[in-house]
Structure 1
Amino acid sequence: MSPRKVYADQADIGTPLVRELVAAQFPQWAALPLEPIDSGGLVNAIYRLGPDLSVRLPLRPSTAGIVQREQAKLAALAPFLPVAIPSVEAIGTPTKAYPGEWSIHRWLPGAHPSPSTLVDPRGLATDLAAFIDAFRQINLPDRPPAYPGERRTRAPMASLDSPTRKAIDDLADLIDTRAALASWEESLAAPYDGREVWVHSDLTPSNLLVSPKGRLTAVLDFETSGLGDPACDLFPIWYLLPATVHPEFRTTLNTDPPTWLRGRGRVLSQALTVLHHLKDTNPALATSARHAISNVLATP
């Protein structure tokens, strides 16, 4: 099993290649069982290595030190957070067969939550609010920006305006474009005082793990985490949590109306973009995006 094709320049990755890389560079783990994981992600091919490890290979190989920066960031953040996050156990070097850095992580147990099968929505909302609040309190000397591609202005959502409007236009056969445009423009106009805190910036179900009892056990994928608008971490409201727990979640995080609107807009923008690009190639992410869009457009 090889990862689904996402990019034209995607590396040719398969189980034999991963076995070869592990055996050559980390022989202490060469005898462990290796199993591909269909994560539906857009960044890494993931393989489970024995009971306690996973192998991650970027779909687009790079030698730009991305994996080392990830290792340093995760190690710095972990002591401040109330649930487990990934830890990089080893970093593999490029080869002719795979011309980029790759990594071995500690395996984190749990399952991705689904909005239709939440066991304990209120408990999960409490856990997520505690994670977001703890993240906001972090104060480290290294202060990278979240979403580094966005313009660093007092209105950072402006950089999302053009692609969001294009996605709305291109999805005319799938969504209520008039409602989507009205919602987006209302969020785009919400004021922002420029206050920045540490944010994860992508708290979607595919980046969360829960226990059989429905409580949060781990958060994944910190690639775009950094300093940003507090609204960036309101994603669970529209992607995952039922409306019955929204008021408590919002109050716990001291979310004022402008922040709520900006958060709603960011969710809409991301979900529209995901649906636009992946509706035919990644059913799981497209379904999650549709759910979020539906919830945003149902919000008064």
Structure 2
Amino acid sequence: MDGVLIDTTLVRRLLTVQFPQWADLPLAPVPQSGMDNATFRLGDELSVRLPRYAHWAGQVAREHRWLPRLAPQLPLTVSEPLEIGEPGEGYPYPWSVYRWLDGETATTEALADPVRAGLDLAGFVNALKGIDATGGPGPEQSNAFRGVPMGDPRDSLAAEARVRPKLEALARTGTVDIDAVTEVWEAALAAPAWHKPPVWIHGDLATGNLLMRDGRLSAVIDFGTLAVADPAVDLQPAWMFLPPQGRDAFREAVDADDATWARARGWALAGSLPVPDDPFFQQNPARVTAALDHLEQVLEDHRRHG
């Protein structure tokens, strides 16, 4: 975050002033914080999360408002916000204290039963989109415009203004079949738009936001991109997490039509373009390998199903 160092010293000062009952608990950064928020474990039962940039600050109020209403209707455990912290001690944004959720970050390799995982994840997606969305937030900057229609000019992950330059950059590297990748992208753009009322979406069902215990999905975390929008964006784990047998079970269980599936492939593709100058991939070269694998899963699915 520009101008402010988010470290244990800052978080300890914020806790001392605003939540002194927790100020003496052990505090340490989690091994892998996200790019949007810095996260710290607080004692055995709590965590602290602080937005890194101004445009993510709206996530705090959104999670505190909506998660208590959504959680009782969902089949997997989800993030539980406990307190909202105020700006202070040189930190300019609201921040949160959450209940700590035990579990390991989900990986494809650790799945005990990929089909079961596909069904469990579908159950979560179906339950979420089935909740009354009256008054829910639409796509906006603070939820990264997740769930906007394909071709929408707003600055989402899947905006043409973002994807086209990445396709051109990848074409120069020669690392992917750029004609096949472009075909999938064009198919996503051409797919009919979501024609039903918008529904609740998580917006970022990446493996980093899925927890598992004993090889089975146990929790979904980080609802910062929560919105009421096109549900296609929540189908991305079909290629970015589930192996083929789990993917087939997932698609059948979510009952995705061809148009929704094509749009979902577009979202997955947009998040799997490891261009050399993208900070997300520069920070961790292993992400390049993972993205290329996800991209191949998308291409293979398109070859199979069109």
TM-score, normalized by the shorter chain, greater than 0.5 = yes
1:133, distance to aligned residue in structure 2 (A): 0.6
Q: Report what 1:4 is aligned to.
A: none
- Contact persistence 1:45–1:58 (CA under 8 A): yes
Correspondences of 1:1-300 after superposition (within 5 Å): 9=2, 11-60=4-53, 66-146=59-139, 150=145, 155-159=149-153, 160-172=159-171, 173=173, 174-195=175-196, 196-212=198-214, 214-272=215-273, 277=278, 278-283=280-285, 285-299=287-301, 300=303
1:286, distance to aligned residue in structure 2 (A): 4.0
Partner Cα separation in structure 2 for residue 204 and residue 41 of structure 1: 11
Partner Cα separation in structure 1 for residue 269 and residue 56 of structure 2: 33
| Change in 2 beyond 3 A, CA 1:22/1:274 | farther
- Contact persistence 2:205–2:237 (CA under 8 A): yes
Partner Cα separation in structure 1 for residue 169 and residue 95 of structure 2: 36
Structure 1: any 5+ residue segments left out of the alignment? 1-6
| Change in 2 beyond 3 A, CA 1:206/1:147 | farther
The normalised TM-score by structure 2 is 0.86
1:99, distance to aligned residue in structure 2 (A): 2.0
Deviations 1:135-186 (A, max 9, x none): 1111043221145565998x54443223111111112313322221111112
One-letter amino acid of the counterpart of residue 73, structure 2: F
Partner Cα separation in structure 2 for residue 289 and residue 175 of structure 1: 11
| Change in 2 beyond 3 A, CA 1:282/1:296 | same
Structure 2: any 5+ residue segments left out of the alignment? 154-158
One-letter amino acid of the counterpart of residue 291, structure 1: D
**Aligned-partner SS, 1:217:** strand
| Change in 2 beyond 3 A, CA 1:41/1:27 | same
One-letter amino acid of the counterpart of residue 203, structure 1: L
One-letter amino acid of the counterpart of residue 204, structure 2: D
| Change in 2 beyond 3 A, CA 1:108/1:151 | closer
**Aligned-partner SS, 1:185:** helix
| Change in 2 beyond 3 A, CA 1:275/1:105 | farther
Partner Cα separation in structure 1 for residue 104 and residue 11 of structure 2: 24
| Change in 2 beyond 3 A, CA 1:197/1:109 | same
Partner Cα separation in structure 2 for residue 252 and residue 140 of structure 1: 21
- Contact persistence 1:92–1:103 (CA under 8 A): yes
When the two chains are superposed, the root-mean-square deviation of aligned CA atoms in Å is 2.4
The percent identity for this pair of structures is: 40
| Change in 2 beyond 3 A, CA 1:282/1:10 | farther
The normalised TM-score by structure 1 is 0.88
Deviations 1:70-129 (A, max 9, x none): 211211211211111112111211124212211111001111111233222122111101
Deviations 1:253-290 (A, max 9, x none): 11111111111111101222787622211345444433
| Change in 2 beyond 3 A, CA 1:40/1:31 | closer
Deviates more, 1:168-177 or 1:20-29: 168-177
- Runs of 4+ off more than 6 Å: none
- Contact persistence 2:169–2:275 (CA under 8 A): no
